[in-house]
Amino acid sequence: MRGTVILVHGAWGNRKVWTSLAKIFREANYRVRIVELPGHGQNAYQHNVRWLTLNVYVDAVEDIARKQSRVILIGHSMGGLIVQMVLNRKRHHYLAGILLNPVPPSGILKTAIRFFIDHPWSVIKALIKLSPYELVANENLARRRLFGHALDQSELRRRHREVGPESVIALIQMLFPRYIRIRDIPVLVIRTTADRVISSRQARETAWMHTADLRIVPGAPHMSMYGEEGQRIVQEILQWLEQL
């Protein structure tokens, strides 16, 4: 085995978003562990996700990572921030960190403002209900913010059924800057050009902060782990890992 790839999903997600990509990593001779964060997916019954903090998520990822060897952490969106926080703790040896459309250390307050301008009522409902799910609660919002416009309606409906609730505490924490600077560990930042959540400037800032490599994947949306888009991203990752 070349190493252990640990996959960390983002906000509103669960382990299912990584299913196709995990298969490709296994075929490339990597051991794969897919994290299901506390309060998400099959772990939803164990915790009330609404009040969980980012540190709870970070602890869950670390608990899995410390039992593995030659670990490569891969995180998407909020999962990308979690990976940055894990690497910043320096409690374990990691081969590399890979951040796909990651929440930047500078925070996502600008993203929240863009969301409000795009669809103010969804943000108002999220605040009233203390429920980040309202930001992607219907298929049209999910298409614009997560899945992109290329999907047909049936595939959009299938993917939206997998979108779940998210922690209001974690979302508030993500709004504001935090000091994270990763050194001595190779880091790759991947930004997809059709992402409506993380801007190109935010991706560049993250890469600059960690002296990381930055790869641009054209056309893919924020949730880009499916189909041909996902395959392109895995190939970018595998090519980068070969150079380490």
**Nearest to 200, CA basis, from 218, 187, 182, 183:** 218
Is residue 126 in some structural domain? Answer: no
**Confidence band of 150 (pLDDT split at 50, 70, 90):** confident
**Confidence band of 137 (pLDDT split at 50, 70, 90):** very high
Is residue 233 in some structural domain? Answer: yes
Span 56-66, pLDDT tens digits: 999 999 999 99
Is residue 97 in some structural domain? Answer: yes
Is residue 84 in some structural domain? Answer: yes
Q: Is 13 exposed, middle or buried (0-12, 13-18, 19+ CB in 10 A)?
A: buried
Mean pLDDT of 91-119: 96
Span 31-41, pLDDT tens digits: 999 999 999 98
209, pLDDT greater than 90: yes
Q: What is the SS3 assignment for 101-123? A: CCCCCCCCHHHHHHHHHHCHHHH
**Confidence band of 155 (pLDDT split at 50, 70, 90):** very high
- Other Cβ atoms less than 10 A from the Cβ of 106: the count is 16
Is residue 32 in some structural domain? Answer: yes
pLDDT at 42: 82
208, pLDDT greater than 90: yes
Is residue 141 in some structural domain? Answer: no
pTM score, two decimals?
0.96
Is residue 146 in some structural domain? Answer: no
The Cα 29–Cα 46 span in angstroms is 33
Q: Which domain holds residue 76?
A: 4-105+178-242
Is residue 94 in some structural domain? Answer: yes
144 DSSP β-pair partners = none
**Nearest to 195, CA basis, from 172, 222, 217, 175:** 222
CATH number of the domain enclosing 199:
3.40.50.1820
pLDDT at 161: 93
The Cα 89–Cα 87 span in angstroms is 5
Mean pLDDT of 41-48: 77
**Confidence band of 45 (pLDDT split at 50, 70, 90):** low
Tokens of 11: 């906000």
